[in-house]
Amino acid sequence: MLPNDPRLKGFGDRATLAEVQGWIDSACAALPVVEMAADAAAGLVLAADMTAPADLPPVAASALDGLALRAEETYGASSYNPLMIQLVGRGGQLLPGTAMQVPLGAPLPEGADAVLGYEAAEIAGGMVEVMAHAAPGQGIVRPGQDAAAGQVLLPACRRLRGEDCALALTARLGTLPVHPGPRVLLLSAGRFAGADLLPVVLGPIIRRDGGRVVGQGAARGDREALARLLLKADADLIVIAGASGLDADDRAALVLAQVGELTCHGLALRPGDTGGFGRVADTPVLLLPGSPGALRLSWEMTGARAVRRLAGLPPGPALPTKVLPLAHKVVSEVGWDEILPARINHEGMLALTAREVVGSGAVARADGFILVPADGEGYAEGTPTAIHLFDT
Amino acid sequence: MLPNDPRLKGFGDRATLAEVQGWIDSACAALPVVEMAADAAAGLVLAADMTAPADLPPVAASALDGLALRAEETYGASSYNPLMIQLVGRGGQLLPGTAMQVPLGAPLPEGADAVLGYEAAEIAGGMVEVMAHAAPGQGIVRPGQDAAAGQVLLPACRRLRGEDCALALTARLGTLPVHPGPRVLLLSAGRFAGADLLPVVLGPIIRRDGGRVVGQGAARGDREALARLLLKADADLIVIAGASGLDADDRAALVLAQVGELTCHGLALRPGDTGGFGRVADTPVLLLPGSPGALRLSWEMTGARAVRRLAGLPPGPALPTKVLPLAHKVVSEVGWDEILPARINHEGMLALTAREVVGSGAVARADGFILVPADGEGYAEGTPTAIHLFDT
């Protein structure tokens, strides 16, 4: 038994959202740095500045498909006064009086100091008719022009984009120091058809925040099954959805306290008031609602924060926001953090899609959510309010 | 040979970006609708309104973990005047004078018209001491409260979120009519180490827009190899990166014209001016730059549009924008659409990271890009300008 089993009685003290976020922050630090192949690192967080080991490009290169030549040999050339220069095969040094075809990005042949576009030349019979003059340096990318040796190409803490990984490979950095993506285990403990729904609801948001679902399981009210799933877990974060409420059959908190540690149970957060936090061995464990709508909303303030911190990202909330006036008054109980699903109505104002999240309909109809912090009583109609916009 | 082979000569007429986008639009319609398992449909576009086949919830259900009872039997109850009601086992009808434990979401037992939270009761010796009165309907979710039978739960053209798929499953809709995600084949035809870089650069953006990379290949200047890769392609969109320029070795356009159709080659677009468009059998083919930075930028206006249209999404650009003043003058040639990498400087103004995109460094240093349309000469310092912000 738990010393203060709240079942059939109600929660006594509830932890505040700020307290839970504090526990999440202390339990979830960025995962230890690994060296990851650059082409597999997109989406992960860089753990150290990435500096250019050499100039990019390393030598002068052509900035276009054209003719490498000596600029001084084109002085005075125009379409009225074409100058003839001998076209030579590719490779080797460029001798005086000759021009050589070079493709964009190729090293400039020694002796050349400009690249002229084909629009300004005509090629016939092994000769180039040059019809414009070239300035020295024209059509050339200088060594280090894209990046100089030693320059910080990407700062530490950057979430790597695909083009960042391409830049690393171009700079011949085969591996990068990154925080690996947190592995999340999703366990369904309740009555809801949650075992199937959990990865559907949470998978996209976990990926959004740099993590990945590494497993799922369903205990369906069976204590022993849940205990076994927890004890054999190999993950960076464990989520137990459902069975954390006040019903006699709700045993998630009990099992967590038995096989690990239950730090708190019962939050001053809606939805998610039956949530909790603890750990099994060193792995943080979140208790969350089993109902998909409540799960989706409370995840943003709890699970998403855990995933983002493990991934090395700022804690969030991660979604883009827009500030719009409220279409109606929003009342909220002091002492409770509330996450309310809202949509942007046809007048560009924010309207709640439901006061109580009873299913996922209200969340599906929402464009995002607004937050009413614990110290607020709500907002008057017309109050400019931030909506956090769903994007996944 | 091509009738108007531009190699070693230069492009004559260049297609405008508007023309290319017109060809993309006519060649890329939303892929034919398929019925997809709801739990695999997240990220895809719904092809028809999704309506609720029945009320959600179908019958009255409990809104909390608590005690189902008859509201009238609690009138007058308070902590000073507790009323005793008999606690009965779960299941069956609720007889007068009794209360039954019900978990959140469970159907309300017949006879009950309220659910009282455990905080307002004390359970001992098979009896419930009720310490607050309940109003009829309190603690109950009405049938259809989350969604009514026949109600449109999600509109056609909606890009499905995880919670949408959960809602479908809750509503017992096992499959959903969706446009499948376009399958993109990435072929590298040029000198750049593009075969490896292509999926690194484009994979995340293709996924962002609802598509997926189904294959990659490298022809490295070999005409026959490129022709074979094109002819055996099984994809909804083919991308050929590199080898579309003016160098004698650039044979991508030539090969495309031989095995399929080359609609245009040479665009009034920077970067991406050697790009083109065509098809092999019924599959649209895009010619794009091989250099990662130029590829990343020109993709947003060409490839991303093709993927989004095939996926059933609006054509884009897909990225969030922010309007900020320019830190310096931006000059642009009339007649050319330009995509310029830019960052937000420490004064909150937009600064270009490079005038010419010579590698991926300038793109990696950028927070996004600004567009200068073909009919503009650029912008004066301080002009409020939209930056399209990279997010992947």
Partner-chain contact B9 A196, CB within 8 Å:
no
Give the gap in angstroms from C-alpha B145 to the nearest C-alpha of chain A.
Answer: 8
Q: Are strands B261-265 and B212-218 parallel, antiparallel or unpaired?
A: unpaired
Specify whether the CB–CB gap between A369 and A324 falls below 8 A: no
Query: What per-residue confidence (pLDDT) applies to A194?
Result: 54
The average confidence (pLDDT) of chain A is 93
- Contacts of A226 by beta carbon, 8 Å cutoff, 6+ apart: A187, A189, A219, A240, A243, A251, A252, A255
Test mutation, B62, B64, B65, chain A, max A CBs within 10 A: B65
Specify whether the CB–CB gap between A82 and A188 falls below 8 A: no
Q: Which residues of A touch B213 (CB under 8 A)?
A: none
Specify whether the CB–CB gap between A243 and A217 falls below 8 A: no
- The conformation of residue A294, written as its DSSP 8-state character, comes to H
- Contacts of B189 by beta carbon, 8 Å cutoff, 6+ apart: B218, B219, B220, B221, B226, B240, B241, B242, B243, B244, B251, B252, B255, B290
Test mutation, A100, A360, A390, A392, chain B, max B CBs within 10 A: A360
Dihedral (Cα; B344, B347, B352, B354), 10-degree rounding? -100
Residue B357 has pLDDT above 90, yes or no: no
Burial class (CB in 10 A: 0-12, 13-18, 19+), A41: buried
Query: What per-residue confidence (pLDDT) applies to A66?
Result: 96
**CA nearest to A383, candidates A330, A335, A332:** A330
Interatomic CA distance for residues B283 and B233, integer angstroms: 9
Query: What mean pLDDT comes out for the span A89-103?
Result: 95
pLDDT tier at A40 (50, 70, 90 boundaries)? very high
Only one residue has tokens 């690192």, namely: A41
Give the residue from chain A lying closest to B209, CA to CA. A392
- Contacts of B98 by beta carbon, 8 Å cutoff, 6+ apart: B69, B85, B86, B87, B88
Percent of chain A with pLDDT over 70: 97
Residue A1 has pLDDT above 70, yes or no: no
- The conformation of residue A355, written as its DSSP 8-state character, comes to S
Only one residue has tokens 């009238």, namely: B72
Residue A225 has pLDDT above 90, yes or no: yes
Cis peptide before A271 (omega within 30 of 0): yes
Interatomic CA distance for residues B307 and B317, integer angstroms: 11
Partner-chain contact A66 B246, CB within 8 Å:
yes
Which pTM does this prediction carry? 0.94
Query: What mean pLDDT comes out for the span B62-91?
Result: 95
Q: What does the pLDDT look like over A295-346, one tens digit per residue?
A: 999 999 999 999 999 999 999 888 989 999 999 999 999 999 999 999 999 9
Q: What does the pLDDT look like over B245-298, one tens digit per residue?
A: 999 989 999 999 999 999 999 999 999 999 999 999 999 999 999 888 999 999
Using DSSP, state whether A237 is helix, strand or coil: strand
H, E, C per residue of chain B = CCCCCCCCCCCCCCECHHHHHHHHHHHCCCCCCEEEEHHHCCCCEECCCEECCCCECCCCEECCCEEEECHHHHCCCCCCCCEEEEEECCCCCCCCCEEEEECCCCECCCCCCEEEEHHHEEEECCEEEECCCCCCCCCEECCCCCECCCCEEECCCCECCHHHHHHHHHCCCCEEEEECCCEEEEEECCCCCHHHHHHHHHHHHHHHCCCEEEEEEECCCCHHHHHHHHHCCCCCEEEEECCCCCCCCCCHHHHHHHHCEEEEECECEECCCCCEEEEECCEEEEEECCCHHHHHHHHHHCHHHHHHHHHCCCCCCCCCEEEEEECCCEECCCCCEEEEEEEECCCCCEEECCCCCCCCHHHHCCCEEEEECCCCCEECCCCEEEEEECCC
Give the gap in angstroms from C-alpha A246 to the nearest C-alpha of chain B.
Answer: 6
Residue A359 has pLDDT above 80, yes or no: no
Q: Considering just the CA atoms, what is the radius of gyration of chain A in Å? A: 31
- Contacts of A383 by beta carbon, 8 Å cutoff, 6+ apart: A325, A326
pLDDT tier at A2 (50, 70, 90 boundaries)? low
Burial class (CB in 10 A: 0-12, 13-18, 19+), B151: middle
Residue B1 has pLDDT above 60, yes or no: no
Give the residue from chain A lying closest to B106, CA to CA. A191
**CA nearest to A109, candidates A94, A126, A89, A125:** A94
The average confidence (pLDDT) of chain B is 93
Locate the DSSP E strands across A167-298.
Answer: 175-179, 183-188, 212-218, 237-241, 261-265, 269-270, 276-280, 283-288
Query: What per-residue confidence (pLDDT) applies to B192?
Result: 60
Residue B156 has a CB neighbour count (10 Å cut-off) of 13
Euclidean distance between the first and final Cα of chain B, in Å? 40
Query: What per-residue confidence (pLDDT) applies to A392?
Result: 58
Partner-chain contact A103 B201, CB within 8 Å:
no
Query: What per-residue confidence (pLDDT) applies to B2?
Result: 65
**Tokens encoding B357:** 């995109």
Partner-chain contact B358 A141, CB within 8 Å:
yes
Q: Are strands B83-88 and B98-102 parallel, antiparallel or unpaired?
A: parallel
Partner-chain contact B56 A361, CB within 8 Å:
yes
Residue B323 has pLDDT above 90, yes or no: yes
Give the residue from chain A lying closest to B103, CA to CA. A247
Give the gap in angstroms from C-alpha A281 to the nearest C-alpha of chain B.
Answer: 30
pLDDT tier at A210 (50, 70, 90 boundaries)? very high
Query: What per-residue confidence (pLDDT) applies to B390?
Result: 93
Give the gap in angstroms from C-alpha A354 to the nearest C-alpha of chain B.
Answer: 8
pLDDT tier at B391 (50, 70, 90 boundaries)? confident
Percent of chain B with pLDDT over 70: 97
pLDDT: which is higher, A146 or A128: A128
pLDDT tier at A109 (50, 70, 90 boundaries)? very high
Please, what sign has the CA dihedral across residues A329, A268, A246, A235? positive
pLDDT: which is higher, A353 or A305: A305
* Lowest-confidence region among A43-52, A358-367, B259-268: A358-367
Specify whether the CB–CB gap between A210 and A45 falls below 8 A: yes
Partner-chain contact A165 B200, CB within 8 Å:
yes
Query: What per-residue confidence (pLDDT) applies to A226?
Result: 95
Residue B155 has pLDDT above 90, yes or no: yes
pLDDT: which is higher, A376 or B45: B45
Test mutation, B56, B170, B200, chain A, max A CBs within 10 A: B200
Interatomic CA distance for residues B317 and B389, integer angstroms: 10
How far are the Cα atoms of A115, B19, B223 from residue A187, in angstroms, in the given order?
63, 52, 53
Q: Which residues of A touch B296 (CB under 8 A)?
A: 162-163, 166
Interatomic CA distance for residues A169 and B194, integer angstroms: 10
Query: What mean pLDDT comes out for the span A110-127?
Result: 95
Q: What does the pLDDT look like over B77-112, one tens digit per residue?
A: 999 999 999 999 999 999 999 999 999 989 999 999
Residue A384: enclosing H or E segment and its boundaries?
A: strand A384-389
Query: What per-residue confidence (pLDDT) applies to B219?
Result: 87
Q: Report the residue from A101, A147, A358 with minimal CB separation from B248.
A: A101
**CA nearest to B7, candidates B274, B343, B380:** B274
Beta bridge partners of A209: none
Query: What per-residue confidence (pLDDT) applies to A195?
Result: 62
Interatomic CA distance for residues B247 and B124, integer angstroms: 89
Q: Report the residue from B163, B359, B392 with minimal CB separation from A364.
A: B163
